[in-house]
Amino acid sequence: MFKDNIGGDVSAIYLTESKLLLSASRDVPNFVNNVTPYGTTIASLNSELGLKRMHFRGNSGFKGGVFLLDSSSVLKDEDSVYEANEANQGGVIYVINESEFEILRGSFVNNRAQEGAVVYAMYNEIERALKFSQCSF
For 87, the domain range is 2-18+28-133
DSSP assignment of 105-136: S-EEES-EEEE-SSEEEES---TT-EEEES-B
105 found inside a domain? yes
pTM: 0.94
Answer whether 58's CB lies under 8 Å from 32's CB. Answer: yes
Closest CA to 39 of 99, 88, 100: 88
23 found inside a domain? no
Residue type, 11: S
Q: Any idea what the Cα angle at residue 56 is, between residues 51 and 57, rounded to 5°?
A: 175
> So what's the pLDDT on residue 9?
92
118 found inside a domain? yes
According to DSSP, the β-strands at 130-133 and 40-45 are unpaired
123 found inside a domain? yes
Closest CA to 20 of 49, 55, 43: 49
How confident is the prediction along the chain (137 residues), in pLDDT tens digits per residue? 999 999 999 999 999 999 999 999 888 999 999 999 989 999 999 999 999 999 999 999 999 999 999 999 999 999 999 999 999 999 999 999 999 999 999 999 999 999 999 999 999 887 778 999 999 99
> So what's the pLDDT on residue 88?
97
In whole angstroms, what is the distance from residue 15 CA to residue 48 CA?
9
106 found inside a domain? yes
| Number of compact structural domains in the chain | 1
79 found inside a domain? yes
63 found inside a domain? yes
Q: How far is CA 17 from CA 42, 47, 100, in A?
A: 14, 5, 15
112 found inside a domain? yes
